[in-house]
């Protein structure tokens, strides 16, 4: 049985609230600006098929392992790992897995708040009408002016971080629970609204062809590894968020069905986002699909500014992006706040202010990476590039790998079985095999590829 049936932070009101919370954590900027492009560039439907296989064989098994740790420990990731390591009579160094995930989450949050601030800024940039009829060069100049202005970046970073703190201060039920029960349905409604607009006003056929044409010739082994990597990262694995949310999961909720639903919703959002974005991009003459900030803050504003009703739809789109970023960011704030409450005897108000102050200060390094520190690099990295590489290519793969190995080989088997109660025995056996052997090999390959690409390619 669990170390405790209910932690000091309480539990989600229902299984559905956990699904919304975990989906909110998983759905973020990567769904909007990375998945659609890498799918279209790596064989379309062939890539999507491989990606879905990777979700089933890598993403879901490791996500279940992380939720098992959280629900069994019923505390912050740091303290859950400490207690479970003691219960399993494992080496004390395994407890560092909790610290690694929470630290990675805090580092990611420091630059995520800055980038999410860009999306908040563009709600007003697009909605004001200033981008009406804008060209690619003009849209690029607008984005460059934003990045060149530290005071504007700091303002929007502060606004976004304040929104996150306002939610997490409310606790599990009154803060996080209420937020995800409002934000996620709103996100789904806005997605459907934008999908309808893109179907009638955009080049929907071109978007479908770009995303789903089954072109095996374009799918390389590197594309397969890219699918594997995105399947791992898209579910917010290894950064403490899912373990913390698992700690608030109702004990009787079926683990397998719940995680499958989260994975399905996360994938659906990525695919629908791709259809929306590329329908709009392909409807505008002269625009080509791209990835990253260039797609979100240059190509799309050009498209929105040159189509009937586009500015209103553009503002709605950036509200959607901001909601997706908000729901992800609160999940990165919560694990460390929970640790402060448990270990330092702080109230949630003080814990949030202490952590938010640290995140805000660290985020200034990212702000300055785009302007006054842009020419200062260490080993070829700006401050932002270094944090991004450290977390995405080093910390998260190692954290996910250790979670899989710990739950698969080290954690007390009776404890694991108690959390998997009600699961189909054959599926549980398959899950145990994948989390022990398939997922670690896949994560190791992604880790090696990330390091090799940066330093040796």
Q: What is the pLDDT of residues 366-394, one digit of tens each?
A: 999 999 999 998 888 999 999 999 998 89
CA distances from 279 to 211, 212, 284, 300 (A): 11, 13, 9, 10
Q: What is the pLDDT of residue 371?
A: 95
Kindly state the percentage of the chain with pLDDT values over 70. 97
The residue among 378 and 30 whose pLDDT is bigger is 378
Q: Which residues pair with 44 in a beta bridge?
A: 214
Q: Give dist(CA 83, CA 64) in Å, integer.
A: 19
**Confidence label for 4 from pLDDT (cuts 50, 70 and 90):** low
Q: Are 195 and 276 in contact (CB under 8 A)?
A: yes
Range with the poorest average pLDDT among 32-36, 152-156, 338-342, 370-374:
32-36
30 close to 226: Cβ distance less than 8 angstroms = no
Place of tokens 């996910």: 400
pLDDT given at position 453 = 80
Q: Is there a contact between 9 and 78 (Cβ–Cβ < 8 Å)?
A: no
pLDDT score recorded for residue 8 = 67
Q: Which residues contact 58 (CB under 8 A, 6 or more apart)?
A: 228, 231, 232, 434, 438, 439, 442, 443
pLDDT of residue 336: 95
Helix (H) or strand (E) holding 332: helix 310-343
What average pLDDT score do residues 72-94 get? 95
Whether 182 and 4 have beta carbons less than 8 Å apart is answered as: no
What is the C-alpha to C-alpha distance for residues 240 and 355, in angstroms, rounded to an integer? Answer: 15
Domains of the chain plus CATH, in order, are 15-455 (1.20.1740)
Segment 264-272 mean pLDDT: 92
Q: What is the average pLDDT across 335-364?
A: 95
Segments in 149-203 forming alpha helices (H) = 150-168, 171, 178-201
**pTM score, two decimals?**
0.93
- State the pLDDT at residue 288: 73
pLDDT at 232: 79
Rounded-to-integer distance, Cα 56 and Cα 399, Å: 19
**pLDDT value at residue 406:** 97
pLDDT of residue 99: 97
Alpha-carbon dihedral sign for residues 288, 293, 299, 303: positive
- 328, pLDDT greater than 90: yes
**Average pLDDT of the chain to the nearest whole number:** 90
For range 385-410, the mean pLDDT = 94
Q: Does an H or E element contain 61, and which?
A: helix 60-73
Q: Quote the tokens at residue 295.
A: 């797609």
| Partners of 381 in the β-ladder | 378
3-state secondary structure 233-302: HCCCCCCCHHHHHHHCCCCCCCHHHHHHHHHHHHHHHHHHHHHHHHHHHHCCCCCCCCCCHHHHHHHHHH
Nearest by Cα to 400 from 227, 229, 146:
229
Dist CA 426 CA 308 (whole Å): 54
Average pLDDT of the residues in 100-116: 96
Token duo for residue 423: 């699961």
Q: What pLDDT does residue 131 have?
A: 86
pLDDT, tens digit, for every residue of 184-203? 999 999 999 999 999 998 89
Q: What is the pLDDT of residue 1?
A: 46
Confidence (pLDDT) at 285 = 76
Distance of alpha carbon 155 from alpha carbon 162, whole angstroms: 11
Q: Between 224 and 204, whose confidence is greater?
A: 204
Nearest to 96 by CA among 398, 441, 448, 391: 398
- Is the confidence at residue 398, as pLDDT, over 50? yes
Please give the pLDDT value at position 5: 55
Q: How confident is the model at residue 349 (pLDDT cuts 50, 70, 90)?
A: very high
> Three-state secondary structure along 70-96?
HHHHCCCHHHHHHHHHHHCCCCHHHHH
> Nearest 5°: CA angle at 236, between 233 and 237?
80
């Amino acid at each position: 049985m669990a170390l405790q049936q209910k932690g000091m932070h309480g539990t989600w009101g229902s299984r559905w609230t956990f699904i919304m919370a975990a989906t909110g954590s998983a759905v973020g900027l990567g769904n909007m600006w990375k998945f659609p492009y890498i799918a279209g560039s790596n064989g379309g439907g062939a890539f999507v098929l491989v990606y879905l296989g990777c979700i089933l064989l890598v993403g879901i098994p490791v996500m279940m392992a992380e939720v098992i740790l959280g629900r069994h420990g019923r505390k912050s990731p740091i303290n859950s790992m400490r207690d479970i390591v003691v219960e399993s009579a494992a080496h004390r160094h395994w407890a560092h897995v909790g610290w690694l995930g929470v630290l990675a989450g805090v580092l990611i949050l420091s630059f995520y708040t800055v980038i999410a601030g860009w999306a908040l800024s563009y709600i007003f940039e697009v909605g004001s009408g200033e981008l009406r009829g804008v060209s690619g060069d003009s849209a690029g100049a607008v984005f460059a002016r934003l990045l060149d202005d530290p005071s504007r970046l700091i303002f929007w970073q502060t606004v976004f971080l304040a929104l996150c703190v306002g939610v997490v201060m409310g606790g599990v039920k009154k803060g996080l629970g209420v937020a995800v029960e409002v934000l996620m349905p709103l996100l789904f409604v806005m997605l459907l609204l934008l999908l309808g607009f893109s179907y009638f006003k955009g080049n929907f056929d071109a978007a479908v062809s770009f995303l789903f044409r089954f072109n095996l010739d374009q799918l390389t082994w590197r594309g397969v590894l890219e699918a594997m990597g995105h399947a791992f990262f898209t579910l917010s694995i290894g950064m403490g968020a899912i373990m913390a949310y698992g700690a608030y999961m109702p004990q009787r909720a079926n683990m397998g069905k719940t995680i499958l639903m989260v994975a399905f919703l996360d994938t659906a959002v990525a695919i629908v986002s791709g259809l929306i974005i590329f329908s709009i991009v392909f409807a505008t003459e002269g625009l080509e699909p791209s990835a990253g900030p260039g797609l979100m803050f240059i190509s799309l504003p050009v498209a929105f500014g040159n189509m009937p009703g586009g500015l209103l739809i553009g503002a709605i789109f950036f509200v959607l992006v901001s909601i997706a970023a908000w729901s992800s960011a609160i999940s990165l704030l919560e694990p460390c706040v929970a640790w402060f409450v448990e270990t330092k005897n702080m109230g949630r108000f003080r814990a949030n202010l202490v952590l938010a102050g640290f995140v805000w200060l660290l985020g200034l390094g990212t702000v300055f990476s785009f302007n006054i520190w842009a020419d200062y690099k260490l080993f070829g990295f700006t401050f932002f590039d270094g944090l991004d590489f450290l977390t995405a290519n080093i910390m998260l793969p190692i954290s996910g790998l250790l979670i899989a190995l710990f739950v698969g080989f080290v954690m007390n088997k009776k404890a694991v079985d108690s959390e998997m109660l009600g699961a189909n025995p054959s599926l549980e056996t398959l899950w145990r095999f994948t989390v022990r052997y398939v997922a670690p090999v896949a994560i190791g390959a992604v880790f090696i590829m990330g390091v090799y690409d940066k330093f040796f390619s």
